A = this chain, B = another copy of it.
Amino acid sequence: MTEPLRIAMAGLGTVGGGVLRALAERGDDLRSRAGREILLSQVCALDRGKRRPHDMAELKWAHSALDLAQSDADVVVELIGGENGTALDLIFAALNNGKHVVTANKSLLARHGADLAELAERKGVALKFEAAVAGGIPIVKALRESLVAHGVVAVRGILNGTCNFILTQMEATGRPFLEVLAEAQRMGFAEADPTLDVEGHDTAHKLALLAALAFGIRPDLGQITVEGIAKVTPEDITFARELGYRIKLLGVARQGPDGVDQRVHPAMVKLGTPLADVEGAFNAVVADAGQAGPFFLAGRGAGQAPTASAVIADVVDIARGAIGPAFGRPAKELEVTRPAPESARANAFYLRFQALDQPGVLAEIAARLARAHVSIESMIQRGRALSESVAIVMITHPCPPIAVESALKDIAASDKILGAPTLIHMEPA
């Protein structure tokens, strides 16, 4: 049997603990799969004294994370997090020293992924990141190695378990966003600072990586339009249901003739289609590979076991010698693309206006939409008991976002319209 594969791990939180555990409990099977022993040669974590639910006595501790890059390890597993700072320094140094790197760090890769991939290739080592996207769902491998023959034309996914949990709870309880968020925080389903999740940035990090894998482009957060779930109301969720939809936070990347359209936003997903049924903390991805697709993958998006599972799959791949390019193609061939032009981003939209219950309101809205060449496919109008206002809900035919946005601005200026109108993308089935 070949020499053992020595791994050094930085970060011993939830995921790191899961990796330790799986290595300890499933060592025999992993050796059989990897064709060699996998040895944890060194670890490093901020607080060495912290009680951990694993036997740490035999582990060799490094003084600092950066020391791991100089160690005798073949692979450095980076589970520190953070898009710059120590994590970036460690990955850079490890690759430079000819060590393979496995990381779960999506925000770092969304920013520096193409450059790090190029460095890895120059040094003849692997940079792997299955754990960075959708936890244990093997979507990185599927896009990198399986869906290669026909070209993926679109990839769409529910990529943030916190947001999906909140939206699922909002639908189940009828309660507003902030209440459900607070509850999710108490239950440990949302971070103390939930900004990264609920504002959609975490989804954007993951989408940038999926788009790079699917389309052969450099990950580029600057090309992604991002909108979070804070503005989704129980009322919209109820209307969605009535219209046969469910609101999900989606990351969508679509290859067009003149660029790649990449966006993160709440979307109306048709009931009965696979993404609509993904509930709670689960994640899911649909990859449309033309005649060979669609493919649908779903599973746990986060948590100790799923994420550790992804880290270990990458390590076993490396043990077997699978050290192909990080994004499936040589990094220097990854293209810098422009965002798709506005004209290629036409979509149908759900619009909700809260209006004074007066004659002429509907005519005014309709006229202003018509002026912007936005045409209406269907409409619901409903008054509230004990209220002088009515909710007017419309679904448009596909139109350029800029047209509907300009009409909304125009309509919002009317003194018959209360508050800002709501706009939600209709996701094509």
Residues of A within 8 A of B (CB): 22, 26, 29-30, 32-33, 35, 130, 136-138, 141-142, 145-151, 216, 272, 274, 277, 284, 289-300, 303-306, 308-313, 316-317, 320-322, 324-325, 328-330, 333
Complex: how many Å from CA A35 to CA B300? 33
- The reply to whether A149 and B324 contact each other, CB–CB distance below 8 Å, is no
**Given A272-B277, A320-B324: A33 touches B296 (CB 8 Å cut-off):** no
- The reply to whether B300 and A297 contact each other, CB–CB distance below 8 Å, is no
Nearest chain B residue, comparing its CB with the CB of A295: B299
Option from B30, B272, B295, B321 in Cβ contact (under 8 Å) with A137:
B295
**Shortest distance from the beta carbon of A293 to any chain B beta carbon, whole Å:** 7
- The reply to whether A328 and B33 contact each other, CB–CB distance below 8 Å, is yes
**Residue from A149, A294, A311 with most neighbouring chain B CB atoms (10 Å):** A149
User: For residue A296, which residues in chain B have a CB less than 8 angstroms away from its CB?
Assistant: 284, 296-299
**Given A149-B26, A289-B136: A33 touches B329 (CB 8 Å cut-off):** yes
- The reply to whether B313 and A32 contact each other, CB–CB distance below 8 Å, is no
Option from B277, B312, B322, B328 in Cβ contact (under 8 Å) with A148:
B312
Option from B141, B284, B330 in Cβ contact (under 8 Å) with A146:
B141
Complex: how many Å from CA A148 to CA B319? 13
- The reply to whether A298 and B274 contact each other, CB–CB distance below 8 Å, is yes
**Given A138-B142, A295-B136, A300-B293: A30 touches B149 (CB 8 Å cut-off):** yes
What 14 new A-B contacts, CB under 8 Å, besides A33-B329, A141-B141?
A: A22-B149, A26-B149, A29-B151, A136-B292, A138-B145, A141-B142, A145-B316, A147-B309, A148-B316, A149-B311, A284-B296, A291-B306, A292-B300, A296-B296
User: For residue A325, which residues in chain B have a CB less than 8 angstroms away from its CB?
Assistant: 35
| A-B pairs, 10 with minimum CB distance | A291-B305, A138-B146, A149-B312, A292-B309, A292-B305, A149-B309, A295-B299, A296-B298, A22-B149, A32-B329
**Given A296-B298, A298-B296, A299-B294: A145 touches B324 (CB 8 Å cut-off):** no
**Shortest distance from the beta carbon of A24 to any chain B beta carbon, whole Å:** 12
**Shortest distance from the beta carbon of A389 to any chain B beta carbon, whole Å:** 36
- The reply to whether A298 and B299 contact each other, CB–CB distance below 8 Å, is no
User: For residue A150, which residues in chain B have a CB less than 8 angstroms away from its CB?
Assistant: 22, 26, 305, 309
User: For residue A290, which residues in chain B have a CB less than 8 angstroms away from its CB?
Assistant: 305
12 contacts between A and B (CB under 8 A): A29-B216, A29-B329, A32-B329, A136-B293, A138-B142, A141-B146, A146-B313, A149-B312, A274-B274, A290-B305, A296-B299, A297-B297
Nearest chain B residue, comparing its CB with the CB of A306: B292
